[in-house]
A and B are shown apart, each in its own frame.
Chain A
């Protein structure tokens, strides 16, 4: 009998489903508009909820009167979230919500809520550290080696200042949920029942978190989510609106309530990527070797001061450095994780500073990045060098790159720039149940979610691979908290988690099937294999049973779990962490208008064993496009005079459109040495270096650094003016 089952992935040449690119399984439902997102749910008797939020950057709530709103036509419930005396430290802060029969009635009622505010002094801008005053919190100094001496000894020293704007997630499906809280007959809430259709990146964690807040046992909370319209790190908890929506439902006698944030509120409070600014000095030798690094960094993640990430990024073994970091308390919505939290800012600051140093040293930045890759974590040094060369080859660096500022004779200048990325991406803890029924049907059950990354498809691929079945012979159920728990989809942890638990569950289930049918095939279980919808004796293909015939021999269904605890040592080699990537931007800049146009963007990325290359490629495209959008267009624009967020709508908070992205070339670095590492998450790593690469390309094109992203025409023109002055 098999002792410890062999969970390892089949060798590359034996794989039939893993490594192939079937279409996204839920694609037809989505592209035909049939997919029902939580925000599409209209359960019977549903009410429409709407928030009243604070119009001020910073205010204290003096009084609130909801009487008129409560009497407004159609209103079934009013919930006050901010009582008198509440300090509201950002615009968009939730004050109260109403639920009414129609959305129009809810809007009318919200306007009838009377609020008196005491306006407090605000700070909404953080680009100038000197103006932060008492809002600045020093994070202390870190010193490595002897930076002062190294600076003195240096042959080349370059200095620069770089800024990275607050951007907002702007998930197309807004934050919110449909929720129904049916009160029971026990005042403690023990008999209350809640059904909720949230838009969440963490279906498994939702009930526990909501239950704690509304004092209903998680066992009485049903969470259901088939589709989600984007999260990107901003949708991990039920949030205040989950709790408020539930309360509205309860107050309305248990009618379901749909409460989604309006776009303006969404842009203010439902996701802010922290800003980061840095004054950086890089010192080194004429050959481009970096010897010292100093960094004074500041930034803000909202009212709680969060310092920007440490420096240098990836090149962490630079021998001498001095780093200071300061967080600023701003009157802006709180930070939320953004696809590779901290890493984008860190990569931006580091790669811009290295490019400036290369220019100062008179060297090709490609060579300078490769040379200083010696300071990357030891195991990745060669990977970075390989990937930089590969990216350079695909971007035609050798023919197209030119020294800074020599981007052609006309008014449109071409330039190229580099950025690098690192991410862990080890899978999260995950449990999966695999069921093989006596009629041969198979189901895989796991309380995960598919953010559009392709999770449903890859789980199904893993199961089909193990069972030797076609994809359509495997039924997958996710997004339902009655199923075995999975983790939240963040940090690129989903694919490693679900592929590991699914592989374990399916191998366990298959072993049970082998044990049941081995006697019929005159073999021992370990001599059997599942191939092409047959169970057969290895080496004797004619001693076999069809999958269905084999399952018919079962006296009852097989139900087996696969459990992965989310630690490296528990993966059985199925998954690991540690991805690297190198990217190159190729842009044209119109020096008369300041407009930056993307020509081509090359992304070289490793992510271990790739389950579905097409979906992997889509992830990289998506990450790059989102990055181009933040490099060129996106910014939360605040006005210090009034404290207002000036662009909380999608007209002035700009996202890149289909004509803004140029051509994108993706190279998945699937060399055998990467494949054998197992599965590594891919959502974040390719999203890291775009702002860096694009900013470097613009500097290369026009001969001067545009210090702040996004690289809007006015900033490009201002930088050109400074250069010409």
Chain B
């Protein structure tokens, strides 16, 4: 069940902020009693990095080909920026720690977990979200065709991950799909349909655009 995706952007975060600084652990050994903040100290900037924040800062993201402005704290993830600030709700917040893929978007053509990407670091990059695809893009249509969805909450993430996967693997077998999409989880149990859908979508996309 290992992820095939980079949990972080491949490039070193420019702002010097890290995801680690604000993960709100309640798990093993966090020992949070709800009284002490465990975070601010950890958010210290790396040496030499330009310091922004901790208050809201203006950012510009390039989403689906359009520049979008927002003002948010540097700790805001790309996922939260989309969902909470831009009303782009196709990407879902499920695990919020890089495990499930429900928040998958493409950055510079590669699928990325937007919950483990800071919005501020996604500036200047090409962000593609499911809202940028037509309703009947070949992958989404194939998910309908093979009933690769039930509640559908995981589906936008799967569809974006499939788009990213198919760009690099245009002729996948079902086994390839299993390998390529194992960074996405579904609770309703739609994997049988997903396998078939992605293989079919690949055929539908031959020679055509990526939707």
Selected A-B contacts with CB under 8 Å, 26 pairs:
A26-B152, A30-B155, A31-B139, A33-B89, A33-B130, A33-B159, A40-B83, A42-B89, A53-B26, A108-B37, A111-B36, A112-B37, A172-B94, A172-B153, A172-B187, A173-B92, A452-B149, A453-B150, A618-B147, A624-B189, A646-B27, A650-B94, A650-B185, A657-B182, A658-B182, A659-B1
B54-105 with Cβ < 8 A to chain A: 72-73, 75-76, 80, 83-84, 87, 89-100, 102
B interface residues, how many (CB within 8 angstroms): 79
User: Given the known A-B contacts A23-B145, A173-B151, A650-B100, are A229 and B133 also in contact in the complex, defined by CB atoms under 8 Å?
Assistant: no
Indicate which residue in A454, A621, A626 contacts B193 across the interface (CB closer than 8 Å).
A621
Given A33-B155, A618-B190: 15 more A-B contacts, CB < 8 Å: A28-B135, A42-B89, A52-B34, A53-B26, A103-B84, A111-B34, A170-B187, A263-B94, A453-B150, A618-B147, A650-B100, A658-B181, A658-B195, A661-B189, A661-B191
A358-388 with Cβ < 8 A to chain B: none
Query: What is the minimal beta-carbon distance from B127 to any residue of chain A, in angstroms?
Result: 14
CB of B112 within 8 Å of the partner chain: no
Tell me whether A615 and B89 are in contact (CB under 8 A). Answer: no
CB of B45 within 8 Å of the partner chain: no
A163-204 with Cβ < 8 A to chain B: 170-174
CB of B114 within 8 Å of the partner chain: no
CB of A340 within 8 Å of the partner chain: no
The 7 closest A-B pairs by CB, nearest first: A33-B90, A625-B189, A229-B153, A30-B152, A452-B150, A452-B151, A622-B189
Report the bound CA distance from A645 to B76 in whole Å. Answer: 28
Indicate which residue in A55, A174, A658 contacts B178 across the interface (CB closer than 8 Å).
A658
CB of B51 within 8 Å of the partner chain: no
CB of B140 within 8 Å of the partner chain: yes
- Central interface residue in A35, A40, A229, by most chain B CB within 10 Å: A229
Tell me whether A648 and B26 are in contact (CB under 8 A). Answer: yes
Tell me whether B150 and A618 are in contact (CB under 8 A). Answer: yes
CB of A117 within 8 Å of the partner chain: yes
Indicate which residue in B76, B99, B145, B151 contacts A104 across the interface (CB closer than 8 Å).
B76
CB of B154 within 8 Å of the partner chain: yes
User: Given the known A-B contacts A621-B193, A650-B100, A651-B95, are A660 and B153 also in contact in the complex, defined by CB atoms under 8 Å?
Assistant: no
Report the bound CA distance from A51 to B34 in whole Å. Answer: 10
CB of A587 within 8 Å of the partner chain: no
Tell me whether B185 and A657 are in contact (CB under 8 A). Answer: yes
User: Given the known A-B contacts A262-B24, A618-B193, are A23 and B144 also in contact in the complex, defined by CB atoms under 8 Å?
Assistant: yes
Tell me whether B130 and A265 are in contact (CB under 8 A). Answer: no
User: Given the known A-B contacts A262-B24, A262-B96, A618-B193, are A172 and B147 also in contact in the complex, defined by CB atoms under 8 Å?
Assistant: no
Tell me whether B187 and A171 are in contact (CB under 8 A). Answer: yes
Tell me whether A626 and B97 are in contact (CB under 8 A). Answer: no
Tell me whether B192 and A31 are in contact (CB under 8 A). Answer: no
Show the binding face of A for B, using Cβ within 8 Å: 23-24, 26-37, 39-40, 42, 48, 52-53, 55, 92, 95, 102-104, 107-108, 110-115, 117, 170-174, 227-230, 232, 262-265, 451-454, 614-615, 618, 621-626, 629, 633, 644-652, 654-661, 664
A102 partner residues in chain B, CB cutoff 8 A: 72-73, 84
CB of B33 within 8 Å of the partner chain: yes
A26 partner residues in chain B, CB cutoff 8 A: 152
- Central interface residue in A264, A629, A633, A645, by most chain B CB within 10 Å: A264
Query: What is the minimal beta-carbon distance from B158 to any residue of chain A, in angstroms?
Result: 8
A-side interface mostly:
loop
Tell me whether B1 and A657 are in contact (CB under 8 A). Answer: yes
Tell me whether A230 and B1 are in contact (CB under 8 A). Answer: no
B131 partner residues in chain A, CB cutoff 8 A: 33
User: Given the known A-B contacts A172-B94, A452-B150, A657-B182, are A27 and B144 also in contact in the complex, defined by CB atoms under 8 Å?
Assistant: yes
CB of B12 within 8 Å of the partner chain: no
Query: What is the minimal beta-carbon distance from A72 to any residue of chain B, in angstroms?
Result: 11
Report the bound CA distance from A225 to B146 in whole Å. Answer: 25
CB of B166 within 8 Å of the partner chain: no
Indicate which residue in A37, A232, A655 contacts B153 across the interface (CB closer than 8 Å).
A37
B23-44 with Cβ < 8 A to chain A: 24-37, 39
Tell me whether A172 and B34 are in contact (CB under 8 A). Answer: no
A229 partner residues in chain B, CB cutoff 8 A: 92, 151-153
B172-188 with Cβ < 8 A to chain A: 177-179, 181-182, 184-188
